[in-house]
């Protein structure tokens, strides 16, 4: 994999920092990208290829998934790499300032315009303009943006002299622009102009190979000699990361701030994960729509069909939930979930609510098994458990022919404020592991998964 050259000078402007001041752009402090998963490697290779062409690029993906990193890669591999890279968050600019910030203004154009100010398009001349959150642009601005993208000279606000620029536009969004087009909230002609080439960035939950690399990168920026303990590594890899890379960085930074001995070791106890239904582990490599659908149905089941509670647990509005449910009904929900590879099968996590016994610190008490995979389980109990501590779950594998409950030894790898705990299994007896894997394969088939077999 060939990474963007570190020597390519770029300019970085962010409207939520200095974009609304006249102090000029700040230098980018982009870290070396962590690219280990096959899915992100494919995106990076496509980014390198499209970088050599003048076509506009639309990058889509979840909030915090790394769309800006892809935009930087496109610029760094393009013929414009020695010219400015201007980063604009369209959602962060006040609506009444969008036009003047993008296209500039002349002295006296409005109250407070004491001098001429070039817009972001002029600042990015000969370089790349990255328009993040493009789906939030007002329709009136979309019209002018389309004309500029077509090479038509434009006027600064309050000006009478046309400005011509040579800019390569890369846009990004976490919205489905096609849905916005159908709803009349985004121009169809602008969408097709921006999406001459479309790149989809997979969410972090589908890229577990990147999790530890990104976490270590953030940690070593603060304490170069520090490291994660094994229980912290397990916790990082077991979490679902609904907030993607941004959430991962925040969790690690928070751990650095509150760790007792951060310059030596970060433990699982130092990590604080937000409560979220979406944080439960799903099969790695799952199609994004299928994963989203699974999380929605699970939330509805746990809230006994209460759409308001389910939407709140998922962190979305009730209107969004209803819209998605309508789309699922129209689709018939008859599509196959796809095929799980051998490596993906080990991450499959079956959802259930099974009363079990838990052994901890010499005591045995009641608990609930929320989900289970070949390597661990999610549980809930009123008893406080210490992260990293040994624990054993006692229950019978559903559908098992063996008599009596079996003991699953392990240790606590993560916790949240809702009394839920992640347990990583230790060494299981061969017969017990086989019984569990057999039942999990049955559940995979019920969920509509086809399974790759050993060759």
Distance CA 367, CA 394 (A): 10
Segment 6-34 mean pLDDT: 41
pLDDT at residue 378 in the model? 86
Q: Which two tokens stand for residue 368?
A: 């609930």
Whether the predicted pLDDT of 258 surpasses 70:
yes
The answer to whether 350 and 289 have CB atoms below 8 angstroms apart is no
**Which residues, at least 6 apart from 279, have a Cβ–Cβ distance to it below 8 Å?**
239, 240, 241, 242, 273, 416
Q: ∠ CA 17-22-16 to the nearest 5 degrees?
A: 15
Rounded CA separation 223/265 (Å): 10
> Does the pLDDT at position 12 exceed 80?
no
Q: Which domains does the chain have, with CATH numbers?
A: 11-200 (3.40.50.300), 204-278 (1.10.8.60), 287-336 (1.10.10), 344-451 (2.40.10.220)
Q: Report the relative pairing of strands 420-425 and 26-27 from DSSP bridges.
A: unpaired
- Say how far apart CA 80 and CA 76 lie, in whole Å: 8
Phi then psi for 279, rounded to 5 degrees?
-80, -10
3-state helix, strand, coil in the chain (%, to 5): 40, 20, 40
Structure tokens at 449: 């998964």
pLDDT, tens only, 86-113:
999 888 888 788 888 999 999 888 877 8
Whole-angstrom Cα distance, residue 310 to residue 297?
9
Of the candidates 280, 200, 294, 293, the residue with the CA atom closest to the CA atom of residue 242:
280
The predicted pLDDT at position 293 comes to: 67
Name which of 84, 83, 129 is nearest 102 in CA terms. Answer: 129
pLDDT of residue 181: 93
Comparing 402 with 254, the larger pLDDT belongs to 254
Is 70 exposed, middle or buried, given 0-12, 13-18 or 19+ CB atoms closer than 10 A? buried
More confident residue, 157 or 454: 157
How many angstroms separate the CA atoms of 142 and 238, rounded?
42
**Residue reference for tokens 């838990």:** 358
The interaxial angle of helices 288-302 and 307-314, nearest 10 deg, is 130
Count of other CB atoms within 10 angstroms of residue 373: 21
Question: Residue 422 has which token pair?
Answer: 């992640």
pLDDT of residue 447: 65
- CB atoms < 10 A from the CB of 194, how many? 27
Q: Which pLDDT value is given to residue 246? A: 86
The Cβ of residue 161 has, within 10 Å, a number of other Cβ atoms equal to 8
Residue 132 · residue 194 · CB < 8 Å: no
Nearest Cα to Cα of residue 211 among 175, 249, 185: 249
Q: How far apart are the first and last CA of the chain?
A: 29
Query: pTM here?
Result: 0.56
pLDDT tens readout for residues 291-335 = 566 667 666 666 656 666 677 666 566 666 776 776 665 555 434
* Average pLDDT value over all residues in the chain: 79
DSSP letter (8 states) at residue 429: P
Say what the pLDDT of residue 305 is: 62
Can you give the pLDDT at residue 121? Answer: 94
Per-residue pLDDT reduced to its tens digit, 331-387 = 554 343 445 555 456 657 787 889 999 999 999 999 999 888 888 888 999 999 987
């Amino acid at each position: 994999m060939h990474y963007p050259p570190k020597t390519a000078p770029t300019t970085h402007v962010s409207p939520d920092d200095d974009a609304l001041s006249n102090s000029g752009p700040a230098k980018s402090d982009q870290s070396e990208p962590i690219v280990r998963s096959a899915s992100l490697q494919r995106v990076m290779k496509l980014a390198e290829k499209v970088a050599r062409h003048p076509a506009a690029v639309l990058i889509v993906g979840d909030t915090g998934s790394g769309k800006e990193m892809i935009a930087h890669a496109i610029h760094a591999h393009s013929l414009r790499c020695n010219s400015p890279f201007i980063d604009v968050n369209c959602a962060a600019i006040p609506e009444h300032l969008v036009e003047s910030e993008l296209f500039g203004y002349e002295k006296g154009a409005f109250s407070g315009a004491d001098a001429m100010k070039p817009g972001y398009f002029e600042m990015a001349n000969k370089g790349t303009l990255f328009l993040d959150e493009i789906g939030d642009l007002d329709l009136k601005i979309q019209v002018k943006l389309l004309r500029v993208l077509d090479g038509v000279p434009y006027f600064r606000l309050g000006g009478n002299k046309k400005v011509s620029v040579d800019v390569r536009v890369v846009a990004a969004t976490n919205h489905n622009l096609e849905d916005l087009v159908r709803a009349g909230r985004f121009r169809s002609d602008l969408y097709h102009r921006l999406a001459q080439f479309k790149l989809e960035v997979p969410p972090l939950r589908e890229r577990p190979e990147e999790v530890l690399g990104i976490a270590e990168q953030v940690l070593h920026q603060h304490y170069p000699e520090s490291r994660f303990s094994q229980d912290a590594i397990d916790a990082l890899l077991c979490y679902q990361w609904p907030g993607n890379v941004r959430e991962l960085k925040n969790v690690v930074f928070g751990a650095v701030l509150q760790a007792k001995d951060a310059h030596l070791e970060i433990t699982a106890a130092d990590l604080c994960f937000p409560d979220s239904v979406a944080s439960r582990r799903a099969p790695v490599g799952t199609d994004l729509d299928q994963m989203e659908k699974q999380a929605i149905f699970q939330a509805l089941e746990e809230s006994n069909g209460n759409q308001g509670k389910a939407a709140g647990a998922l962190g979305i509005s009730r209107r969004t939930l209803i819209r998605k449910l309508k789309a699922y009904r129209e689709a018939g929900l008859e599509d196959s979930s796809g095929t799980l590879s051998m490596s993906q099968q080990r991450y499959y996590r079956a959802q259930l609510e099974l009363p079990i016994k838990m052994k901890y610190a010499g005591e045995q008490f009641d608990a609930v098994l929320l989900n289970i995979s070949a390597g661990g389980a999610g549980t809930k109990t009123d008893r406080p458990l210490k992260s990293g501590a040994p624990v054993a779950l006692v229950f019978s594998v559903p559908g098992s022919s063996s008599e009596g409950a079996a003991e699953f030894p392990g240790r606590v790898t993560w916790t949240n404020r809702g009394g839920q705990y992640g347990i990583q299994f230790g060494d299981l007896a061969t017969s017990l592991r086989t019984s569990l894997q057999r039942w999990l394969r049955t559940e995979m088939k019920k969920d509509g998964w086809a399974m790759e077999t050993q060759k």
